[in-house]
Structure 1
Amino acid sequence: MSDTREADKKIRSHQRTPSGSRDFKEATKRDALARVAVELERLVSTIPENRRPLVEKEFAGFKNLFSRFLAEQGPSVTWEKIEKLPEGAVIDYNTLETPTTDNVHHMLDKLVVVKLNGGLGTSMGCKGPKSVIQVRNELTFLDLTVQQIEHLNKTYKCNVPLVLMNSFNTDDDTQKVIRKYRGLKLEIHTFNQSCHPRINRESLLPIAKTGDVHSDIEAWYPPGHGDFYESFYNSGLLQKFIKEGRTYCFISNIDNLGATVDLNILNLLLNPEPQRSTSEFVMEVTDKTRADVKGGTLIQYEDKLRLLEIAQVPKEHVDDFKSVSQFKFFNTNNLWAKLDAIQRVVEQGSLNMEIIVNNKHLGDGLNVIQLETAVGAAMKCFEGGIGVNVPRSRFLPVKKTSDLLLVMSNLYSLSHGSLVMSPQRMFPSTPLVKLGDNHFAKVKEFLNRFAAIPDLIELDHLTVSGDVTFGRGVSLKGTVIIIANHGDRIDIPSGALLENKIVSGNLRILDH
């Protein structure tokens, strides 16, 4: 299954229709909901008795999503109602106080770290969970995360637990991997996000023939990381941590190597200034650059802070959304949420996150839809939500091999599982790297093209396209563009220094 492009994801909206056809549509929707309910009951009946209660809970969540999907009557955001962010809605990270060391131990005992670990490494040509791809010194995303938290626990003599939200795609492999961490000073818990049936786009019915997920894995999907709240609640872990006296969880993507536990943000939450009310939800945002124009942003809407994704934006306003001056921040998906507030919104049933309709085309030619939600979209359901404008170093996602090139390079050094930018780099922004999909998209191909990762300390921009290989000890500085035309091959020799150069298909080196 290929990764669906952004364009295939859209928030459900309907055109206005004459009342006669509207009545017809309402009748067909009621009918669709009733037929789906019957199908779900049939699927439950094919599942062993002991698994039924959990599956029924997951299907209840799906039915709720499906009925909201059918009921939605237009765009989820009216563009004219978007307000300017109020004063104090986004706090500058540099104004946060650093807690005193004697306080840190008590603060960390109130924290749970959650990593979203439902994704596969297929887009980078890897089998199994993305979290087991090696990113640095033969260490995986999961190894680095475990190292970070173990170091925290040892340094401050505390016991911060690590919680992994897996999907049915990643759970088995993850369980095998985490056995190797048993001897470490770290408590690891896992739970699975829900498993929802894919829906035939024409009939609006589940395509699954049986409730046995692994017998037909293409008939099922994990419904996006917005499912975190209900799945966490259903797993019993939420209630366990509340009983232990923990108050906040820090949620982030496992592939964001910048998402480490930040004591200044934790201090802001646990020890707010007298004039500030308690924040139940914090979204870390960072300054938008031209490379981030598709990232979700924070808006004020109907007196609440909320996340606005590009999929919610009416077509005629997409350029406004991408404007760096109009929307200065984008969501890093590093989130902090109060545990008892999660319990409240789940029990009240007040989690009405925008539904993302993800269109997929299966191998057998069938068109299906997946109904998904985004974890940050829950912000509007909590009280006292705020944004914190964090340094770019807290957003280091590895989505493509171009990101992998950066984190494997001498731009960063590794300290207890955390990547630290080299002090030799004169400015804090990371270089913009574009590697051609045809030759660099898969991790194995990418690694074969570098005898060693080049020196990138002074690089601003790198574009590589075509059949290009790099020798050892190569240095890239300024803006470097290397393009091998179709049928040509370029081998950058060992020890080469390319500074502000364009290297084209016939190996001429020109000043840029």
Structure 2
Amino acid sequence: MLEIGADVVKGHARSGSDSKAFIEATKRDALLLLESELGKLVDTAPPVQRERVRKEFDGFTDLFKRFLEETGPSVNWDKIEKLPPDAVREYNDLETPTADIIHQMLNKLVVVKLNGGLGTSMGCYGPKSVITVRNDLTFLDLTVQQIDYLNKTYKVNVPLVLMNSFNTNADTEQVVRKYKNLNVEVHCFNQSCHPRISKDSLMPIAKNLDVDHNLESWYPPGHGDFYESFNNSGLLSKFVKEGRDYCFISNIDNLGATVDLNILNLLMNSSEKEHEFVMEVTDKTRADVKGGTLIQYHNRLRLLEIAQVPKEHVEDFKSVKAFKFFNTNNLWVKLPAIQRVLEQNALHLEIIVNGKSLESGVNVIQLETAVGAAMKCFKGAIGVNVPRSRFLPVKKTSDLLLVMSNLYSLKGGSLRMSPQRMFPTTPLVKLGDNHFSKVREFLQRFSNIPDLLDLDHLTVSGDVTFGRGVSLKGTVIIIANHGDRIDIPSGAILENKIVSGNMRILDH
């Protein structure tokens, strides 16, 4: 609608004031029409759900209103300031807490895992958190093991909170039942369910609130929705009343995101001013140039995502020299401060406009926000530059290969890099999409996971399989041409090798 309006303005060569008035009128109309459509959708909800739906739609209306009003980049590139010296602390400079205060600290902590994603990108159905990653354990199993280990070791009660989406909630609720005999208090809440809007009309494409039978009309609005949904669930006030001070938030697929006592000690026992928000960052590598980074802007520390960067400055943004850190999405936030920011209506998160084409051919827009963008809304916000080991996300099967291998050992639900690995960094692994992108197919191509302790770089492309006890060292490139197949034999040691063409070992 707005794009058409802009064309009309241009085509009729209106005067500047006429143009402005016209655009304002179209925005007003769009907002009124949206509110009317949302009202109709609320009427289709069962009476018992209407109050919850209204709250979620209020949040969506606020997003939509800002989407209409905010034009141009959210950051003026020339006004980005250099990071102050104390903006990012070095992890190695943090003090380790003494044993006598760990119990007291942990009893003031809540662990939150963002659990709204599906495993579809890796060829799995249902929540990503139930994909098996190590020793027949899933992401969720490992997370619960970590909290169970923490609670038993320090004789505390750290609760685990899962933020689900309408895509993952039912399956997660079923899985969570199996943990009832463990020393972990598990809570679930749902993030909002927002309507996708047509790119052309800017109106919701849904005709009723039967989400389960019309999934493609709805979407979870990004993890920035955490603050409002956590508050609406009643869990925020419950934990504050219990005397809990901080929550540790991370993505459930980041296997490096475990509770860190040194960071918790900085928050709870430091003699310096209070830090209501801490973002864990780590040094950028070439693989991370698109990741969000920290900037100083209008005298406040804030997150800058690539989507907010003006096109002419995207290459500047990717510079490792200019922006040396990137956001791991491991965040520590003070619970009473979340309450204050929400009460003061001071949560102002940049809108990420995500365009999609549905199978039906309809082009839609999703309005989303990021949880780390709230940094600028809190007092005393800082970054902590953590070791790379705290950022171990599993987004693809190439990541899965690493975490399933002998590069890591497992203790108390936490993965630890093997002391036999000579380098602190993980190998760079690229597996061909056509044969390795789906978990089931990936697993069928390995009789067991190769020895990767001395691997620097692995590229595999085409129809390739691996026998048992294979060892990969240095740089290994294996390329099977179209129509060919390569079987790496059991016990093979490949060190700084390129294997191409066709190699098959057949039983007889």
TM-score, normalised by the number of residues in structure 2: 0.96
Equivalent position amino acid for 1:183 in 2: N
Aligned to 2:266: 268
Alignment of 1:77-476 (within 5 A): 77-273=75-271, 276-476=272-472
Following superposition, the deviation at residue 211 of structure 1 comes to 1.4
Aligned to 1:49: 47
Greater displacement, 450-459 / 496-505: 496-505
Secondary structure of the structure 2 residue equivalent to 1:319: helix
Equivalent position amino acid for 2:120 in 1: T
Secondary structure of the structure 1 residue equivalent to 2:501: coil
Is it true that 1:66 corresponds to 2:103 in the alignment? Answer: no
RMSD over equivalenced CA pairs, Å: 1.3
CA distance in 2 between partners of 1:446 and 1:118 (Å): 24
Secondary structure of the structure 2 residue equivalent to 1:250: strand
Equivalent position amino acid for 1:296 in 2: G
Equivalent position amino acid for 2:273 in 1: S
CA distance in 2 between partners of 1:296 and 1:402 (Å): 22
Following superposition, the deviation at residue 351 of structure 1 comes to 1.0
CA distance in 2 between partners of 1:375 and 1:152 (Å): 25
CA distance in 2 between partners of 1:266 and 1:28 (Å): 49
Residues 146-184 of structure 1 deviation map (CA, whole Å, 9 limit, x = unaligned): 000000000000000000000000000000000000001
CA distance in 1 between partners of 2:502 and 2:236 (Å): 61
CA distance in 1 between partners of 2:165 and 2:317 (Å): 32
CA distance in 2 between partners of 1:19 and 1:431 (Å): 59
CA distance in 2 between partners of 1:480 and 1:458 (Å): 11
Following superposition, the deviation at residue 215 of structure 1 comes to 2.2
Equivalent position amino acid for 1:409 in 2: S
CA distance in 1 between partners of 2:23 and 2:486 (Å): 59
Equivalent position amino acid for 2:384 in 1: V
CA distance in 1 between partners of 2:501 and 2:20 (Å): 59
Secondary structure of the structure 1 residue equivalent to 2:161: strand
Alignment of 1:492-511 (within 5 A): 492-506=488-502
CA distance in 1 between partners of 2:263 and 2:148 (Å): 20
CA distance in 1 between partners of 2:503 and 2:133 (Å): 31
Residues 214-270 of structure 1 deviation map (CA, whole Å, 9 limit, x = unaligned): 121111000000000000000000000000000000000000000000000000000
Greater displacement, 494-503 / 166-175: 494-503
CA distance in 2 between partners of 1:449 and 1:506 (Å): 16
Following superposition, the deviation at residue 507 of structure 1 comes to 5.1
CA distance in 1 between partners of 2:116 and 2:201 (Å): 28
Equivalent position amino acid for 1:228 in 2: F
Residues 52-95 of structure 1 deviation map (CA, whole Å, 9 limit, x = unaligned): 11111000000000000000121101111111110110000000
Residues 291-311 of structure 1 deviation map (CA, whole Å, 9 limit, x = unaligned): 111110000011010001111
Following superposition, the deviation at residue 196 of structure 1 comes to 0.3
Aligned to 1:38: 36
Aligned to 2:3: none
Following superposition, the deviation at residue 345 of structure 1 comes to 1.1
Secondary structure of the structure 2 residue equivalent to 1:112: strand
Equivalent position amino acid for 2:345 in 1: G
Taking only the aligned residue pairs, the percentage that are identical comes to 77
CA distance in 2 between partners of 1:312 and 1:493 (Å): 49
Residues 314-360 of structure 1 deviation map (CA, whole Å, 9 limit, x = unaligned): 11111111111111000000000000111111111111111001111
CA distance in 2 between partners of 1:116 and 1:476 (Å): 34
Following superposition, the deviation at residue 383 of structure 1 comes to 0.8
Equivalent position amino acid for 1:436 in 2: G
Unaligned runs of 5+ in 2: 1-5, 11-15
Equivalent position amino acid for 2:341 in 1: V
Secondary structure of the structure 2 residue equivalent to 1:499: strand
- The count of corresponding residues between Structure 1 and Structure 2 is 493
CA distance in 2 between partners of 1:235 and 1:408 (Å): 36
Secondary structure of the structure 2 residue equivalent to 1:232: helix
CA distance in 1 between partners of 2:292 and 2:189 (Å): 27
Aligned to 1:7: none
CA distance in 2 between partners of 1:87 and 1:225 (Å): 29
Greater displacement, 14-23 / 246-255: 14-23
TM-score, normalised by the number of residues in structure 1: 0.95
CA distance in 2 between partners of 1:438 and 1:313 (Å): 33
Residues 409-445 of structure 1 deviation map (CA, whole Å, 9 limit, x = unaligned): 0000000100010000011101111111111000001
Secondary structure of the structure 1 residue equivalent to 2:473: strand
CA distance in 2 between partners of 1:506 and 1:414 (Å): 37
Equivalent position amino acid for 1:248 in 2: Y
CA distance in 1 between partners of 2:20 and 2:260 (Å): 51
Following superposition, the deviation at residue 506 of structure 1 comes to 4.1
Aligned to 1:481: 477
Secondary structure of the structure 1 residue equivalent to 2:379: coil
CA distance in 2 between partners of 1:164 and 1:353 (Å): 22
Equivalent position amino acid for 1:325 in 2: K
CA distance in 1 between partners of 2:488 and 2:310 (Å): 46
Secondary structure of the structure 1 residue equivalent to 2:425: coil
CA distance in 2 between partners of 1:19 and 1:286 (Å): 48
CA distance in 1 between partners of 2:320 and 2:496 (Å): 27
CA distance in 1 between partners of 2:49 and 2:249 (Å): 28
Equivalent position amino acid for 2:102 in 1: V
Equivalent position amino acid for 1:384 in 2: G
Secondary structure of the structure 2 residue equivalent to 1:504: strand
